[in-house]
Amino acid sequence: MLIDSHAHLDSERYADDRAAMLARAWEAGVGMVLAIGIGEHASGMDGALSICREFNALSAQGAMFPRLYASAGIYPHNTPEADDAVLAKLDGLLAEPEVIACGEIGLDYYHDGAPHPIQGEGLIRQIEIAAARRRPILIHCRGTNESTDAWDDLLAVLEEHWRSTGLGGVMHCFGGGWEQARRSLDLGFLVSFAGNLTYPKAQPLRDVAARMPLDGVLAETDAPWLAPAPDRGTRNEPAFVVRTAHTLAGLLGVSDEKIASATTKNFMRLFRLGADVGN
Q: Which is nearer to Zn ion, 46 or 222 (CB)?
A: 222
Minimum distance, C-beta of residue 131 to Zn ion, in the bound complex (Å)? 22
Residue nearest Zn ion, CB atom distance: 222
Contacts (CB under 5 A) with Zn ion, residues 218-257: 222
Q: Which is nearer to Zn ion, 227 or 252 (CB)?
A: 227
Minimum distance, C-beta of residue 143 to Zn ion, in the bound complex (Å)? 17
Minimum distance, C-beta of residue 257 to Zn ion, in the bound complex (Å)? 27
Q: Which is nearer to Zn ion, 224 or 252 (CB)?
A: 224
Q: Which is nearer to Zn ion, 48 or 252 (CB)?
A: 48
Minimum distance, C-beta of residue 20 to Zn ion, in the bound complex (Å)? 22
Minimum distance, C-beta of residue 274 to Zn ion, in the bound complex (Å)? 26
Q: What is the DSSP string of the chain?
A: -EEEEEE-TT-GGGTTTHHHHHHHHHHTTEEEEEE----SSGGGTTHHHHHHHHHHHHHHTT----EEEEEE---GGGGGG--HHHHHHHHHHHTSTTEEEEEEEEEE-SSS-S-HHHHHHHHHHHHHHHHHTT--EEEEEE-STT--HHHHHHHHHHHHHTGGG---EEETT----HHHHHHHHHTTEEEEE-GGGGSTT-HHHHHHHHTS-GGGEEE---BTS-PPTTSTTS---GGGHHHHHHHHHHHHT--HHHHHHHHHHHHHHHTT--TT---
Q: Which is nearer to Zn ion, 108 or 222 (CB)?
A: 222
Residue 43: closest CA among 102, 99, 85, 1 = 85
Rg (CA), the chain: 17
Contacts (CB under 5 A) with Zn ion, residues 130-149: none
- The interface region with Zn ion, picked from 13-21, 24-32, 214-222, 255-263 by CB under 5 A, is 214-222
Contacts (CB under 5 A) with Zn ion, residues 82-121: none
Minimum distance, C-beta of residue 170 to Zn ion, in the bound complex (Å)? 11
- The interface region with Zn ion, picked from 87-95, 121-129, 145-153, 215-223 by CB under 5 A, is 215-223
- The interface region with Zn ion, picked from 9-17, 125-133, 216-224, 254-262 by CB under 5 A, is 216-224
Q: Which is nearer to Zn ion, 99 or 252 (CB)?
A: 99
Give the residues lining the site for Zn ion (CB under 5 A).
Answer: 222
